[in-house]
Amino acid sequence: MRDENQSVHLEQLLDRLRDRHAVIGIIGLGYVGLPLALRYAAEGFRVLGIDVDADKVARLNRGGSYIAHIGAAAIEEARAAGFMASTDFARTSEADALIICVPTPLTAYREPDLSFVIGTVESLLPHMRPGQLLSLESTTYPGTTEEELRPRLESRGLRVGQDVFLVFSPEREDPGNPDFHTRTIPKVCGGSTNACLEAGLALYRAAIDTVVPVSSTRAAELTKLLENIHRAVNIGLVNEMKIIADRMGIDIHEVIRAAATKPFGFTPYYPGPGLGGHCIPIDPFYLTWKARQYGLHTRFIELAGEINSDMPGWVVGKVADALNERGRAVMGSRILVLGISYKKDVEDMRESPSVALMELLRARGAAVDYSDPHVPVFPRMREHRFELSSVPLTPSSLASYDVVLLATSHSAFDYDLVRQYANLIVDTRGVYPNRLPNVVQA
């Protein structure tokens, strides 16, 4: 049985979600938060976006976008429906539901860094009121919602499950994937209490086609880690297979294509120069760190992490070998890196292995440039600095480099042009057949 206070707050929230009178607050307007804000606006909710980046906020309020696959028209449509952005956390008191979509990176010691999550919650607390729902979507280790968020809420006298409602619902965005959208990607949700889960399901069912309830916030947190660790481990396996195939003189991409014809029991994963993006290179370490608190050593996960982390070094070794066979050294060579975002056809630079390749080649004395239609100027990054702009691909520019290192296979590249005019191509993505005289697969 719900107590009287719980019933009043929960029923009022459910009513406001049902009739679209609820205000949805999204904290963090990046690759996860912005699509989610647009989704709720499309469903008729008034949406308040909060971000600490004043430039992002100003651009959104002018009707502009800073994410390539989200056009200005989508922003304008949301603004017409009542969406607006702000840097003012005091305004979060206006929202009935608050959804946190902020980064969860690693520290220099490869341990979880929850500073963005904790900082966001601390900024919200002075403005929170009874009747609000708080959802965390940032990927994290099992226990974060109960151990970090719930005590902070209750320290303010807000009873979770009675005054306020707390859930964890992991993000599942795949930027640039035309086959899946925020609405159509099933949403997992776990609540701190049964009443919290009821509120969370009502929140997400208002905007997402399929919502999958789980028994707890911890189960929801581990679900997200399993999804990404599954990919990391399988990519680690195929990267190791790539090294074996290379030593045996076999084209790993041909092998994958052949294996993928099996209609059961096999899912193709593809090798590359390393892992990129905010999730897959980072999330496994959230679980390995937490597992150590239980006296467990996650050997399988950590081995895959080691293999994937070693990939940039292995690729640079292939570049060095290819140059050596042509009587040149890496030092003094001119190398053009083709594609520096972490993923095909997006501008996202988070954890991009291409940047690690550039760093390693520069450390060996190479003169490094890049070409990427999605990244016209090398961005400011916390750990990397290159004063470079994207090089246009022309016959003369391609011919001027000793090596073209294909790191990210954007659709916009003219691969026939590259093949025709590049002196040497080191291909990490299997775009070219290995039998071409100026191509080395890596």
Label residue 330 by pLDDT band (50, 70, 90).
very high
How do residues 415-429 score in pLDDT, each as one tens digit? 999 999 999 999 999
Token pair belonging to 434? 């290995």
pLDDT at 433: 81
Which residue is catalytic, options 101, 189, 196, 279?
A: 279
The full set of domains in the chain, from first to last, is 6-214 (3.40.50.720), 229-439 (3.40.50.720)
H/E element holding 136?
strand 133-136
Say if residue 36 is exposed, middle or buried (CB neighbours under 10 Å; 0-12, 13-18, 19+).
Answer: buried
Token pair belonging to 312? 């940039």
What is the average per-residue pLDDT within 363-369? 98
pLDDT at 41: 97
Token pair belonging to 162? 């009675």
Distance CA 258, CA 410 (A): 24
Cβ neighbours, 10 Å, residue 101: 26
Report the chain's mean pLDDT, rounded to a whole number.
94
* CA-based radius of gyration for the chain: 24
**Residue 279 known to be catalytic:** yes
Least confident of 303-307, 349-353, 419-423, 433-437: 433-437
pLDDT at 267: 95
How do residues 388-417 score in pLDDT, each as one tens digit? 999 999 999 999 999 999 999 999 999 999
- State yes or no: pLDDT of 1 exceeds 50: no
The set of residues, in sequence order, having a beta carbon less than 8 Å from that of 50 and lying 6+ positions away, is 25, 26, 27, 28, 29, 85, 86, 87, 88, 89, 91, 92
**Neighbour-count burial for 142-168, b at 16+ CB within 10 Å, e otherwise:** bebbbeebbeebeeeebebbbbbbbbb
pLDDT at 5: 55
Ranges 137-151, 284-298, 376-390, most confident: 137-151
Distance CA 88, CA 83 (A): 15
Distance CA 90, CA 135 (A): 18
pLDDT at 6: 55
Say if residue 122 is exposed, middle or buried (CB neighbours under 10 Å; 0-12, 13-18, 19+).
Answer: exposed
What is the average per-residue pLDDT within 350-361? 94
- State yes or no: pLDDT of 387 exceeds 90: yes
How do residues 156-204 score in pLDDT, each as one tens digit? 999 999 999 999 999 998 877 888 899 999 999 999 999 999 999 999 9
The half-sphere exposure of 354 on its side-chain side, counting CA atoms within 13 A, is: 34
- State yes or no: pLDDT of 4 exceeds 50: no
- State yes or no: pLDDT of 278 exceeds 90: no
Which amino acid, one-letter code, is at 61?
N
pLDDT at 125: 97
- Select the more confidently predicted residue: 108 or 76: 76
Least confident of 108-112, 154-158, 298-302, 329-333: 108-112
Q: Which residue has the tokens 């660790």?
A: 229
